[in-house]
Amino acid sequence: MRPVNKGDTQGTRWRAWIFLVCVFLFFMQAGLFAGHKDDTSQRDSILQSNWFSTPYKWLPFVKDRKSYSLAEHPIPKLMADAEEKFKHLLSRQSKTLADAVGEYRKRYGREPPRGFGDWWQFTQEHNVRLVDEFDAIDEDLAPFWNMSGVEFRRRTVQVSELPSIDLVRIIDGKVEGTSIDYLDSEQGHRAMGFMTLLEKFQDKLPDMQFAINSKAEGRVLVPWEHRQFPNMTLQDSSGGITSMVGADFTSDWKGEGSVWAAYRRTCPPDTEARRLYSSYRNPNSANSKVFFGSAPAPGDEFTFVSSVEDSIDYCSYPWAHYSQGHFFSDWRTIPVLYPVLSPAKASGFLDIRIPSHYYFGQHPRYTYGFNPDGDQPHDVDEMEVPWEEKLDVVFWRGADTGGGSTPPGFASHYQRHRFLHMTHESAAGNRTIIYADPSSANNFIAAEVPARQLNTEIMDVAFVSTTGGYPGGEEALRKGHRFASPVPLGQHWAYKYLLDLDGMGYSGRFLALLSSESAVVKSTAWQEFLTDWLQPWLHYIPLSSSYAEIYNIHAYFSGPPHSTLAATNLTTPHPIQPPDGDQHLQRIARAGRQWKKTIGRPVDMEAYVYRLCLEYARLWADDRDTMNFVL
């Protein structure tokens, strides 16, 4: 037997330590880089797409310029696919009541609700074009089908006892508000807006009541265990709401929890979010840039998402929650399945979606064509600008809302703050801009351009006010984020690119921006009643939560700005207009406006609510089979 050598023993120990360190680093890196499902899946898809799979040829360097051959830019295909998809959606809509009944049975496996014939007549009288696309209603109401009618009714009344929940009811064909909290900062506007949407068909609805969320944020977060097992739906609420939500339930968290703490309980027990350390991982640790956009990963800047829907799996990648402000809302969520009607909801919430009150009626901050002298807004806003006179600049103004302060100290990661920090005139680093080579067909040029120069040329985004709560105070906020004076909504129409970002909740300006003759660039984590009715890349331009591709979106439609040409040492006079780029951008602007005029009308919202009420009435009944529609 060979004698033991002290050096061998020491070497073995060192190798063991090195092995353990490598394993630890591997898993840390894997966890951090896997954290953004949205970005990594997009990056994988783009690597498999025509853009990178097409053989290319590197040409000699000219300064920092790289030119190579590609079959096509990805954006035209995204636009063509979107147009084809929406045409197919329109063409397959039911043409008769019998067709609509058959489609309903096919989709949902049951008979339509009572009153379906009257609803169909309403859609025909008002030329509603999307008569089959109400999957959002079925999705929102699905959890309540296992609940008895008496329990459903009882919970509706009970939840209205909570702060910032208003009660609306229909009695003898008339709608009225019974417990609207006018002391709330929102002053019951969402409840009153919902009542307005019921007016045309209130006499055709049975007696029932609705609990309306007076806040923009989602409210209902039910723990996973209660969603997966019978006690979620069979739990008896006859003991009152205190027995359901607890005697200590208050309007806000008051340091006794947070939205994220409630959200992580909705995740399956075997996910990272249920593991305390992983769910609260330090957002400032290495590679947090994957989420916060400070330094996009390779490929991100030329990765174009096909949808704005938030596809990040926060249960599997919990540290990503730091990038969305709704996880820091001050308003307490409800941990029990209650039927609460809200204007929007983020992934994981169980609210029932209804149209936002900002989308109909008139308000100078939220209405395109606001008309102070009439009942209806102008078809064309008085401040509208012809396309040829609009500026090739990305424009946004708004307050520094975006999240609450529970817990405090995370405002720098909220969606609006991240975008404004990224686009600040003092932003560090470079951005990779890829644009068509004006001297050669099918050739594209890649350039590394200082971010601060790009921001100065193509970005006009700024906060107009501050709500406080930023780490380091207002001085720190103003140092890294641009501020400007407030502007009227009509001033937005002077720009070709109108950015739409979430605030504390969904963006109430979205339909006003779509109504204009400018192109909307939208990023959101919220699902609304109209989400399935809109087609990204046809009616608007979807933007990822990292925002990294915004510069190449602009480069495709408007061509490279001066700073990009300087970085590539081109002497071609500016601007270099990409083939059909400006026409494609205008096409999106016009399609968005046409959608608003034909599918996003107030009467289309009424048709949605009418259909929702019929489904809701069946859940309200004791004998639901008697509430079926018979053709």
| Residue-by-residue DSSP string for 44-67 | HHHHTSHHHHS---PPPPBTTBEE
What's the one-letter identity of residue 237?
Answer: S
Q: What is the pairing mode between strands 519-523 and 430-436?
A: unpaired
**Which residue in the block uniquely carries the two structure tokens 């968290």?**
253
| Closest by CA position to 286, among listed 35, 559, 631, 597 | 35
**Distance, CA of 417 to CA of 430 (rounded, Å):** 19
> Please, are residues 556 and 578 in contact by the beta-carbon 8 Å criterion?
yes
**Distance, CA of 375 to CA of 378 (rounded, Å):** 10
Please list the residues that pair with 396 across neighbouring strands: 461
**Distance, CA of 555 to CA of 52 (rounded, Å):** 18
**Distance, CA of 238 to CA of 22 (rounded, Å):** 57
Structure tokens at 380: 């064309």
Cα first-last separation, the chain: 92
**Distance, CA of 198 to CA of 200 (rounded, Å):** 6
**Distance, CA of 545 to CA of 346 (rounded, Å):** 14
> Please, are residues 97 and 631 in contact by the beta-carbon 8 Å criterion?
yes
| Closest by CA position to 348, among listed 312, 379, 377 | 312
| Closest by CA position to 137, among listed 166, 112, 102 | 112
Q: What is the pairing mode between strands 174-177 and 165-171?
A: antiparallel
Angle between helices 581-598 and 550-558 (to 10 degrees): 110
| Closest by CA position to 552, among listed 86, 46, 63 | 46
Question: Positive or negative, the Cα torsion across 103, 107, 113, 116?
Answer: negative
Burial category of 25 from C-beta neighbours within 10 Å (exposed 0-12, middle 13-18, buried 19 and up): exposed
Average pLDDT per consecutive 10 residues, the chain (631 residues; last block may be shorter): 41 47 38 33 32 29 47 90 98 98 98 98 98 98 95 96 94 89 71 96 98 95 88 80 91 92 96 82 48 54 84 88 94 96 96 96 95 94 97 96 92 95 95 84 85 97 93 93 96 98 94 98 96 97 95 94 83 59 97 98 98 98 96 90
Burial category of 235 from C-beta neighbours within 10 Å (exposed 0-12, middle 13-18, buried 19 and up): middle
Instruction: Report pLDDT for 66.
Output: 57
Instruction: Report pLDDT for 300.
Output: 78
Instruction: Report pLDDT for 611.
Output: 98
SS3 (DSSP) at 370: coil
Q: Provide Rg for the chain, Cα atoms.
A: 27
DSSP state letters, 496-524: EEEEEE--SSS-TTHHHHHHSSSEEEEE-
DSSP state letters, 555-620: HHHH---HHHHHHHT--SPSP-PPTTHHHHHHHHHHHHHHHHHHTSSHHHHHHHHHHHHHHHHHHH
> Please, are residues 283 and 328 in contact by the beta-carbon 8 Å criterion?
no
| Closest by CA position to 294, among listed 425, 402, 431, 408 | 431
Q: What is the pairing mode between strands 430-436 and 165-171?
A: unpaired
> Please, are residues 547 and 417 in contact by the beta-carbon 8 Å criterion?
no
Instruction: Report pLDDT for 352.
Output: 98
All domains in the chain, ordered by first residue: 377-433+447-601 (3.40.50)
